[in-house]
Amino acid sequence: MSEPTIDPTPEQLNALLADHGEGPIVMLNLLRFRERAGGVLAEEGVTGEEAYGRYAEAVASSLARVGGSLEFAARCKQNVIGPDSEAWDVVALARYPSRHAFLQMVGDPDFQQKHELRSAALADSRLVCCEPVELG
């Protein structure tokens, strides 16, 4: 199993900053929740999933402000291909009009304050920047 991580490394962030793609992107979010939220919500005794719900509600305005949208979210039921140790609780797809819009959102101090809720909620995550493509 890979090392749990919930934030990009400086190298990953620099690579995203260096890619000047102009078109829309979709961020694939793979989420594994803490049993009990930590960080700013540790004293409240809420679950990681409840904490992530608070995060999603709190950042909806930040997402909309840059022209982004939550396109899809679903509870993961089982791995059909891949190791069971890589199981996720939820998958979510967020669409942004561009990399610039995503970076504008994450650089906003209001968003950064709300980001504490995400950190409190997650035990592990992956965030994959995807560009739409036609198959077939």
**Degrees to nearest 5, angle at CA 48 with 93 and 39:** 110
Distance (Å, rounded) from C-alpha 38 to C-alpha 4? 15
Residue 136 lies in a domain: no
Residue 14 lies in a domain: no
Burial of 90 from C-beta contacts in 10 A (0-12 / 13-18 / 19+): middle
**Degrees to nearest 5, angle at CA 105 with 99 and 108:** 135
Mean of the per-residue pLDDT values of the chain:
92
Residue 74 lies in a domain: yes
**Tokens coding 66:** 């840059």
* Total count of domains within the chain: 1
Residue 2 lies in a domain: no
Model confidence at 7, pLDDT cuts 50, 70, 90, reads: confident
pTM: 0.89
Model confidence at 12, pLDDT cuts 50, 70, 90, reads: confident
Contact 93, 72 (CB under 8 A): yes
pLDDT tens-digit map of 81-133 = 988 888 999 999 999 999 999 999 999 999 999 999 999 999 999 999 999 99
CATH of the domain at 92: 3.30.70.100
The number of residues making up the chain comes to: 136
Residue 11 lies in a domain: no
Distance (Å, rounded) from C-alpha 99 to C-alpha 71? 16
**Tokens coding 129:** 């920047």
Distance (Å, rounded) from C-alpha 6 to C-alpha 41? 16
> What number is the average pLDDT over the span 44-62?
96
Q: Which residue has the higher pLDDT, 15 or 99?
A: 99
Residue 10 lies in a domain: no
